[in-house]
Structure 1
Amino acid sequence: MVLRAPLWTSRHQAGLALAEAFADRRGLSGDTTLVALPRGGVPVAAAMASRLELPMVTWSVRKIADPRWPELAIGAVATGGVVVWRHGAGGRQRTTTATEHGWLRDQERELERRHRLFGDPPGDQLRGRHLIVVDDGIATGMTVKAALLSLRQVGPASLALAVPVVDREVAGELDRLVERMEALAVVGDLQAVGLWFGHFEQLSDRQVLALLEGARRACDHPHLPHR
């Protein structure tokens, strides 16, 4: 099958499609949690939460980039002191550069701000649970890899990854870090995640908080009809 962008009108629509892939987890709120990566993963996870009747939390992670090329991730930082660099050991020079120029510290501060603002849970609340990590798309894989390594530290029962679109090469790397991976579209040389959505706005903190509040209310009333 030939995939042509865009495939979804919005992150919400992609989330509903991903919910179908995880229909076997529907209603298993006693041991399963959706873990959204802010900001883009939140509307995807919110749509999944509404269909699957599962609790949803955030797990903040930050891309590290050279300010001259802000869209290109050279690394990422996540909770628990996890830092990953592009090209692994070959990224040592990037480590030095990012540290010397303060790029790493800037993102560590932003990580902490988001952790507090979005209410990321302490790791012990996720221990022993089946975690479904959700993002809106994966190009380089840096932020998702950092998130998965960070979440593995909390001792989950299992880690799954749910994503609408992912680069084919990166998918192979990430698949080794999880027990289950569901991607709606696996494409070669993924340059821009946003091209696969008809509407792909940059979300504000306020929008993220509203989505989280809506998901919490829905979780408190799981028998309300879906919209």
Structure 2
Amino acid sequence: MLAARLRHLRAADPVVVGLPRGGVPVAAEVAAALDARLDIVLVRKIGAPGHEELAVGAIGEDGVTVRNEAVLRELGLTWESLADEVARERAEILRQASALRPGPRPDLRERTVILVDDGIATGATVLAALRVLRHLGATRVVLAVPVAPPDSLAALAPLADEVVCPSRPRRFAAVGQWYDDFTQVPDDQVRTLLE
């Protein structure tokens, strides 16, 4: 269903990028349907201590940093107090780049890029990914996800040129609730899809 809603972009010769790991299988289907190149964009969520699923920010390739200042304030945290976690996640981005990407990153300058994930909860990692893609020179960025709550999409919409999301449930707890099988996608499967 997601790929069908993106067919109008085929003529733009887009690059489809997935967020590892869960977004890559979805992105692979979109890329196949559009006969487009598939790649990844690497970002990592920075979770609140003791509540790692609650994003206080995210980091991405090329030094992109996104902070959720409201959540940091509410929890009495500073970005500096999370320096060890940020360093670990930056190291993970470097590891993923060498472990997952089979070749050099494609040149995204002056290209249409379709950013795909398996769904959006808070949107922190997607926000970082959108900023990374803009930083890399993408002229048109389309955000495409199968499921996301309306408020998260509304917050992200100004950062994308187009948003495609077939399912926008108001009652939304987590992305995994919308999948029959939400087990983690292994690195070797991601690399196989990218090859």
Q: For residues 105 and 189 of structure 1, do their structure 2 counterparts lie closer, same or farther at Cα, with a shift above 3 Å needed?
A: farther
2:75 is the counterpart of 1:97: no
* CA RMSD between the two structures: 2.0
Distance 1:181 1:175 in 2: 6
Which amino acid in 1 is paired with 2:86? L
Give 2:151's aligned residue.
169
Give 1:19's aligned residue.
3
The two structures have a TM-score, normalised by structure 1, of 0.78
Give the one of 179, 182, 187 matched to 1:197. 179
Unaligned runs of at least 5 residues, structure 2: none
Distance 1:41 1:128 in 2: 23
The answer as to whether partners of 2:58 and 2:65 remain within 8 angstroms in 1 is: yes
Per the TM alignment, residue 71 of structure 1 is displaced from its structure 2 partner at its CA by 2.0
Q: How does 1:1-227 map to 2 (within 5 A)?
A: 17-26=1-10, 28-29=12-13, 32-87=14-69, 91=73, 93-99=77-83, 102-119=84-101, 121-122=104-105, 125-213=107-195
Q: For residues 185 and 35 of structure 1, do their structure 2 counterparts lie closer, same or farther at Cα, with a shift above 3 Å needed?
A: same
Identity score, percent: 37
3-state SS of 1:209 partner: helix
For residues 38-73 of structure 1, the C-alpha deviation after alignment (integer angstroms, 9 at most, x for no partner) is 101100011111111111111111111135222222
For residues 96-140 of structure 1, the C-alpha deviation after alignment (integer angstroms, 9 at most, x for no partner) is 2212xx1111101001111122227447x1101100000001001
Aligned positions, number = 192
Q: Radius of gyration: which is bigger?
A: 1
Per the TM alignment, residue 187 of structure 1 is displaced from its structure 2 partner at its CA by 2.2
The answer as to whether partners of 2:43 and 2:58 remain within 8 angstroms in 1 is: yes
The two structures have a TM-score, normalised by structure 2, of 0.90
Distance 2:171 2:68 in 1: 16
The answer as to whether partners of 1:138 and 1:167 remain within 8 angstroms in 2 is: yes
Distance 2:55 2:178 in 1: 20
Stretches (4+) displaced over 6 A? none
